[in-house]
A and B are shown apart, each in its own frame.
Chain A
């Protein structure tokens, strides 16, 4: 049986860890370094960093955070957000990332996937697909954090990305992301069954049981989780608000209120649920 990876996802805006709903309305939760270290110490299999605004503003602000993290955290680090050129990828790998996630640049120029996978190896290139369900039931891939329509059908695009050399695919349901309504199992399964590279499910995790379903019914090879984990520990990192730069809305953090449908849980609780469902997992 394959061993499932549990991957905390850290959305970054400037120096802060943020969380939105449908990839928007970002609210500051704390310092990414605190969360990264905590997840590493608690057995995370991998960490996924997404620069949430890089693509929009042409900014690659993650390098410092990655370098700091990579010096003391010895698990795989995937970094996405605003990576457009071979040099962008090289720089983020040099900063300490092991893999890069690409969305917008790959859709604009699919051959970028081939170029990047030949240069750095397929297993370094993760294609991120941001899916929105169309009113006719089709799933379409969007760019720029779900903002820009492309007309590409998700499954066709996933297959194309694999052919071009993608080593892994992370599929995000923009509709579910941040809502706690549960993973979109149909979406995940349709992608996972269509490609022979590993698929990471992202967007909407609502509970440990829902994560189990993403694996058993969605056929995911890995699960990426943000809200559930972040909300379970952010209070323990309550920072002096003067630590934060002007970016982001910190009134949310101070209020301690989280979206109703989300029941925060720890990595340990997720692992217990996986083991009870007879799913192989580390530790």
Chain B
């Protein structure tokens, strides 16, 4: 029952992690979680800064369409795509996962960044028994290994199969390529709750709000990408 704060070595690193601020959602907690173990984190909306970053974090809560509009207005779409295509570490959280996909069915069809083939769908307001399904899902829920997928050498390496993470969302991703890392079941609907594709790691849940276990994911992601000298002890 007792959860204690992880003991992180403080890092001194010149590696720069940028959190993309596209004026949607709350960046405070993501920033707090990453700086918590001594990473060099900066929040920016400036497209020109992306090129010099060592890693990029795309968070976000809110509507897909608004997010794409804001990214476009801030001229961030191509710099983000270029950054990912350059093979540098990218972390997407919640809406930051969904935006990677080809399109969302929110309000008809809205095009996404197109870095992962697939779509974003809304939870139905009823389950297979015809009962009301509460949407958004605002809940802790379990993440399980996607069929046959090992978590070794991934940001989930230190997480046990079936661990609880915190979710807040009405939409979920449906990848059309084998990128699923974890899956989750919400009121009968099984969906992909995190993906890993080369340098892209993204999750539907919020590690920064998932207590000790969530912080371990950020720590591992940073360690795997040599963004810090800190490691979870």
Residues of A within 8 A of B (CB): 2-3, 5, 40-43, 45, 70-72, 74-76, 93-98, 118, 120-124, 167-168, 193, 196-198, 221-222, 267-268, 271, 282-283
> Which of chain B's residues have a CB closer than 8 A to the CB of A71?
32
> Which of chain B's residues have a CB closer than 8 A to the CB of A268?
1
> Which of chain A's residues have a CB closer than 8 A to the CB of B26?
93, 97-98, 124
Q: How far is the CA of A94 from the CA of B208 in the complex (A)?
A: 15
Q: Does B133 contact A (CB under 8 A)?
A: yes
> Which of chain A's residues have a CB closer than 8 A to the CB of B63?
118, 121
A-B contact pairs, 16 of them (CB 8 A): A2-B134, A2-B139, A3-B140, A40-B3, A41-B4, A42-B2, A43-B3, A45-B140, A71-B32, A74-B33, A74-B36, A97-B26, A123-B138, A196-B134, A196-B135, A267-B1
Q: Are B209 and A76 in contact (CB under 8 A)?
A: yes
A-B contact count (CB 8 A): 106
Q: How far is the CA of A197 from the CA of B170 in the complex (A)?
A: 10
Which B125-155 residues sit within 8 Å CB-CB of chain A? 125, 132-136, 138-142
> Which of chain A's residues have a CB closer than 8 A to the CB of B29?
70, 74, 96, 98
Q: Are B210 and A74 in contact (CB under 8 A)?
A: yes
Q: Does B48 contact A (CB under 8 A)?
A: no
Given contacts A221-B134, A221-B139, whether A196 and B28 have CB atoms under 8 Å apart is no
Q: Does B201 contact A (CB under 8 A)?
A: no
In the complex, per-residue mask of B194-224: 1 if CB is within 8 Å of any chain A CB, else 0: 0000000000001011111011000000000
Q: How far is the CA of A117 from the CA of B208 in the complex (A)?
A: 22
Given contacts A3-B164, A167-B136, whether A74 and B2 have CB atoms under 8 Å apart is no
Q: Are A5 and B139 in contact (CB under 8 A)?
A: yes
Partner of B166, one of A2, A75, A197: A75
Q: Are A75 and B209 in contact (CB under 8 A)?
A: yes
Which B176-209 residues sit within 8 Å CB-CB of chain A? 186-187, 206, 208-209
Which 10 pairs from chain A and chain B are nearest by CB?
Answer: A121-B62, A282-B164, A123-B168, A282-B140, A121-B61, A123-B136, A198-B138, A198-B134, A96-B28, A76-B209
User: In the complex, how many angstroms separate the beta carbon of A153 from the nearest chain B beta carbon?
Assistant: 21
Q: Does B73 contact A (CB under 8 A)?
A: no
Q: How far is the CA of A144 from the CA of B4 in the complex (A)?
A: 38
Q: Are B32 and A70 in contact (CB under 8 A)?
A: yes
Given contacts A2-B134, A2-B139, whether A123 and B61 have CB atoms under 8 Å apart is yes
Q: How far is the CA of A190 from the CA of B56 in the complex (A)?
A: 45
In the complex, per-residue mask of B1-34: 1 if CB is within 8 Å of any chain A CB, else 0: 1111100000000000000000011101100110
